[in-house]
Amino acid sequence: MSRVGVDVGGTFTDLVRIASDGRLEIRKVVTTPADPSRGLFRALGNLPVDVLVHGTTVATNALLERRGARTALVTTAGFEDLLWLRRQDRAALYDLALHHPPPLVDRDAVVGVRERMGPAGVVEPLTEAEIGRAVDAVRAVQPEAIAVSLLFGFRHPDHERRLCAALRAAFPRVPVAAGHEVLPVFREYERTATVSAEAYLRPIVSRYVGRLAEKISSLGVMTSNGGTATPDQAGERAASLALSGPAGGVVGAGIVAAAAGIRDLLTLDMGGTSADASLITDGAPLMVNGMAVAGVPLGLPAILIETVSAGGGSIATVDEGGALRVGPRSAGAVPGPACYGRGGTEPTVTDACLMLGWLDAAHPMADDVQLDRAAAERALAPLAAGLRLDPCRISAGIVTVAAAVMARALKRVSVARGVDPRAMALLSFGGAGPLFGCALADALGMTRVVIPPHPGVLSALGLAAAPERVEWSAPCHRPLAELDAAALAALFAPLTPIGDGRLATRVADCRFAGQGYELTVAVPGSLDPAALAAAFRHLHLARHGHADPTLPIELVNLRVLAERPVAVPAIRAVAKRTKAIGTRRAVMRDGATVQAAVWPLGTVAAGQRIDGPAVLAGPDATALIEPGWRGTAHPSGAVLLERA
């Protein structure tokens, strides 16, 4: 079977088709922001497809632009202000004037219901009369979606079930999201925020996915946890699509790294609008049980991704203090960087890279985008004049600042979590990422960099190869010392899928008694509590630097991750080139001008050595090997760089 992955990014829509013999077919077209599906079908054309997996920004953009459904929130009386009270943390620790983004729900659309569940069960019963009153109050809101989140609904969902049944009967065309269905774990604020986001996103996501499913029979949709869902599942798990595209990139990075025999790496996906950093250890992406997108907390499992505003389209400016800054504003897909010739006039990272000679104006970017060096120079000129620098000097400053922003993101996913990046490899990809691989490795003290054969479409490759994945969770507030293997098995039994062909992995959220945070630990196959305790202490020591062997351990949540892998052939590259195809004058970050050899990325013969300075020019992205680095072509088509 041929599998196709389509990643809709902020600037380009990328497509990768994996043929049955392992060969790749790639396409790259300009994204159509008004209707992303137009760009998708333009990229697809008449390509034969057995299975198509889509990474979409529909949910992310709806959160960023606040254009989801008008949502009513039904909650326990007395807790109507929960979304506004939030946690005690500030939006920015040292900025007292900065506020958190407002909740997705309007305050006048919150309905309090007289009922109460406690840890042991019913405290105040939910009457039929109160259900009728709540339905009438919701009707007055005229919602397009409804969220239901009651106190202790994660443990005792009876009241939520009754309310949801009445609301679904009264509003058959309005989606109703329930806390015990979306996120059945404790912490009232995170659960309520997540179920509100789920309701807010369901109409727009289900409409978009439904339109695609009408035209594509075998459609899968990427979720934030690195797996795929069916269109029906995606419509009912809309909030899980918040990191759909970036998650595909991490999966693709893992595939390339595994082919090169590398199991521990940092990944950096630099696209047109932003850069996404992540971490893969022992061959698996690091997962987290919560994320925030556009200031909206989502307590759903997701691949750890740290996003910063440093993409190829990020605009360079000078602040009031005279310092050079890059981002957060971006030229995006429309009009794009000035050198795209689509009406952009402000200087961007891509303009700087073209000015330095890292990119070649004669080499098509993608689709019908032809780079214009004169337009880039015109955009950079006012900035250069203001700082009394020539265009090449200001361009070197722009790429240095952008690299510093991305290096901080890489440190947050590694050093901040007790992981030493110096023992790992860096895999940089995306349309602009391979240009910064050496610079980022130098900033983190790393000595190995992996350049994939098709870095500009690696997210689409990850989508095409992503497994079908679903997760079940349940609360379990129990001291670990009170449990034996049989008791653990009984607790996991209701969560484990039976006879559906999936491979199930058990994990547990654990903490020391009294802690306010948890770590997710893989549960040993033997279900031995002592082995689970040892694994938790080992992880706690690595993450936080301490693990008191005398402190009791608590189980907080149990989770089962069920995955159905897909049969993807080994990726093969046609790699025969043994000589450079030319040279190019380029300016490095330190201002030095060099003659860089130009090699065709993805078609260099295995074992061929490439010394920096060199440029690897591919059909979808360009990589830069800086002086002091040398590369060796791998049979997969990747180039493995090492510090000379």
pLDDT digits (tens, 9 = 90+) for 612-636: 999 999 888 999 999 999 999 998 8
pLDDT single digits (tens) 17-61: 987 776 788 888 888 877 888 889 998 888 888 889 999 888 988
Out of 131-135, 228-232, 383-387, give the one with best mean pLDDT.
131-135
CA separation for the pair 610, 630 (Å, rounded):
6
- Domain locations along the chain: 3-64+206-244, 65-205, 256-467+566-644, 468-564
- Would the pLDDT of 376 be above 90? yes
Q: What residue has token string 């090169």?
A: 260
**3-state percent helix, strand, coil for the chain, nearest multiple of 5:** 35, 30, 40
Helix axes of 458-465 and 244-259: crossing angle, nearest 10 degrees: 90
pLDDT for the residue 482 = 94
Q: What is the DSSP letter of 621?
A: -
Give the helix ranges, DSSP H, for 95-187. 128-141, 158-170, 179-182
pLDDT of the residue at 199: 98
For residues 376-401, average pLDDT: 93
pLDDT digits (tens, 9 = 90+) for 207-231: 999 999 998 888 999 999 898 989 9
The rounded mean pLDDT for the chain is 91
pLDDT at 329 (0 to 100): 87
Q: What pLDDT score does 572 carry? A: 63
pLDDT at 262 over 90: yes
The CATH number of domain 3-64+206-244, selected from 3.30.420.40, 3.40.50.300, 3.40.50.12780, 3.10.180.10: 3.30.420.40
436 pLDDT band (50/70/90 cuts)?
A: very high
Band the pLDDT of 273: cuts 50, 70, 90. confident
Q: Residue 555: phi, psi to the nearest 5?
A: -90, 135
Higher pLDDT, 569 or 479: 479
At 497, is the pLDDT very low, low, confident or very high (cuts 50, 70, 90)? Answer: low
pLDDT confidence of residue 431: 87
Domains 3-64+206-244 and 65-205 share a fold: no
Token digits for 131? Answer: 């259900």
Return d(Cα 304, Cα 245) in angstroms, integer. Answer: 13
pLDDT at 362: 84
Closest CA to 330 of 316, 342, 320, 341: 316
User: Which range has the worst mean pLDDT, 227-241, 277-291, 325-339, 450-464?
Assistant: 325-339
**Confidence (pLDDT) at 603:** 86
DSSP H or E stretch at residue 34: none
Helix (H) or strand (E) holding 512: strand 503-512
**Candidate from 243-252, 324-333, 530-539, 547-556 with smallest mean pLDDT:** 324-333
Two tokens at 72?
């009513």
CATH architecture assigned to 65-205: 3-Layer(aba) Sandwich (3.40)
Q: Is the dihedral of CA 452, 455, 459, 461 positive or negative?
A: negative
pLDDT band of residue 278 (cuts 50, 70, 90) is very high
Q: Is the pLDDT of residue 290 over 90?
A: no
Q: How confident is the model at residue 272 (pLDDT cuts 50, 70, 90)?
A: confident
pLDDT over 80 (residue 588): yes
Cα 146 to Cα 105: distance, rounded to the nearest angstrom? 10
**What pLDDT is stored for residue 46 in this prediction?**
85
Q: Is the pLDDT of residue 565 over 90?
A: no
pLDDT band at 498 (very low <50, low <70, confident <90, very high): low
What pLDDT is recorded for position 184? 93
Distance from C-alpha of 335 to C-alpha of 333, rounded to nearest angstrom: 6
What pLDDT is stored for residue 499 in this prediction? Answer: 52
